[in-house]
Amino acid sequence: MAQNGAVPELPESVSKPPEGVVLPPKDIRAIIEKTAGYVARNGPVFEDRIRDKEQANPKFSFLSPQDAYAPFYQWRLSEVRSGRGTAVSAGRAGDATPVPEKPKGPEPPPEFQFSARMPNISALDLEVVKLTALHVARKGKSWMTALSQREARNYQFDFLRPQHSLYNFFQRLVDQYTLLLQTGPEGQKAEQARIQVLQANIQDRFRVLNLAKQRSEYTKWQETQKQKKEEAEEAERIAYAQIDWHDFVVVETVLFTEADEQADLPPPTTLNDLQSASLEQKAMMSLARPDMRIEEAMPTDDMSSYAYNDQFGGYPQANGWAPPPEAATISAYTPSPAPQPPSTAVPTPIPSFSPAPPLAPSPQPPSMPPQQPPPSTASPAPVPGQPPMRIKQDYIPRAQQRAATARSATALCPNCGQQIPIAELDAHLRIELLDPRWKEQQSKAASRFSTTNLGGTDVAANLKRLRARTDGVTSDPVAEAAARVLGEQEEEERRKRMKLEGPPGATAYSAAGAQNQGGQHVMDVQEQIRQIHNKYKS
């Protein structure tokens, strides 16, 4: 008999074929038996039909005369035709009612109808759950759905979510309230059934005792099964403890210092405190916020890869079609060396490769037909009534673009001072050198960082004036006094000039103006020396 979908068992007479016949496995034997019954009832035409249909199925290889199981099939076919068939060959293998398996242990007692296992819950949460269950039993499931949507961000109503630990207790209360508040014929029948049970307990005083005895036996059997499970776990733990745990490698050592001993930490939380905490307290202790998505990101996160192109005007964008085959033979463009400014030394950047910049598609002659896309990239025909679909062939995901940008090496541009990828540095320098404002900025930077505002002619004039002044220095007290007076006057004039013109370097003097001023100073000095000599001689 076939039980629970298992392979049908055959009688003992079937398992004793004639000598020299190969006995197939049980699953193949059941297929042979069933096929023999169909062929015996429907004729050889049915066998040919099965052979053609199941030609590639190895389980029906016995239909071939060259197969090793063909003699067994022929023997069973002759037996079925002779009337010595089985229930399998007759097609009645699944007619018999399967015998239910005998349950292990005593019969479980009836469950308590108005009782539910109380979980570890605070008094506030218990009152909220009971009141919510009562209203759900009165108003129906639709009211509970509306309540869960309205209080989605309220931690006090988290038990309305099916994955919450208090959801089963809440549903149990809803079922109990529904049984008590049910009206109509069904409610009356349920009430009559409860009254009959109570009447039976009143009439037979030992009925409750028998039910209690049955429940105690079942509880004892459950404890026995639990003890066996614990013993098996203990044996597994002992086997686990027999492993040589001294064979290990120290990865890191954690040192506790005096600061750790004196740290002001909150007292440890016990298991009872965690179990009796309210839903709001559990939500405050949770690290993950239920109203925050994990994949939430700033809207400007994907715009960072386009900052460089927006700053420098952007490069030509690639269109949706692949470049023509002739573009592959064009040699890569190598930018010419930029002209060096005469007065400023530009630091040499990191040596880089010179990649080919993106080439704009060359215009085709009017006589040539327009370039057609390759046949492999042709988009499928659009559905009638819908606009044609535009498919971009060279699309690169943004995440891959950001990863490629992060992996590419960069170098500091000497002009703008920004980090530029090495592959784009040559093109960037070429664009910078074509800017007309670059020379002006370079000259301003040179004048700002220069140590003097005088040119070569100004320096020579100053040296000549200094030499003329030092040549006339003697041990004469008149000359020394004149030199002191001249030094004070020059210092006073320099201070006045600083107040009027600003610090040195702010305004550049021309060479001609410097020479004129030098001549005036020389004339003033000679006149003042003459006046001093006349004063002391008199």
Question: 3-class secondary structure for 68-79?
Answer: CCHHHHHHHHHH
Q: Give residue-wise pLDDT tens across range 70-95.
A: 888 888 888 888 877 676 666 555 54
CA 199 to chain centre: 65
Q: Give residue-wise pLDDT tens across range 335-362.
A: 444 444 444 444 444 444 444 444 444 4
Structure tokens at 90: 């007759």
pLDDT above 90 coverage of the chain, percent? 7
Residue 175 has pLDDT above 80, yes or no: yes
- How far apart, in whole angstroms, are the C-alpha atoms of residue 97 and residue 4? 10
Average pLDDT over residues 269-283: 84
Task: Please say whether the beta carbons of 339 and 433 come within 8 A.
Answer: yes
- How far apart, in whole angstroms, are the C-alpha atoms of residue 528 and residue 522? 10
Residue 234 has pLDDT above 90, yes or no: yes
Q: Give residue-wise pLDDT tens across range 47-64.
A: 888 888 888 888 888 888
Residue 423 has pLDDT above 60, yes or no: yes
- How far apart, in whole angstroms, are the C-alpha atoms of residue 155 and residue 305? 40
- pTM over 0.75? The answer is no
Q: What is residue 324's predicted lDDT score, i.e. its pLDDT?
A: 45
Give buried/exposed letters for 356-395 (b at 16+ CB in 10 A, else e). ebeeeeeeeeeeeeeeeeeeeeeeeeeeeeeeeeeeeeee
Cα–Cα–Cα angle for 381, 383, 387, nearest 5°? Answer: 90
Average pLDDT over residues 90-115: 67
Q: Which residues have CB under 8 Å from 94's CB, separation 6+?
A: 2
For the chain, which domains are there? 26-90 (1.10.10.790), 123-216 (1.10.10.790)
For the chain, the average pLDDT equals 72
Residue 107 binned pLDDT confidence (cut-offs 50, 70, 90) = confident
Average pLDDT over residues 150-178: 88
Q: What stretch of H or E contains 420? A: strand 419-421
Q: What is residue 54's predicted lDDT score, i.e. its pLDDT?
A: 86
Structure tokens at 392: 């971009």
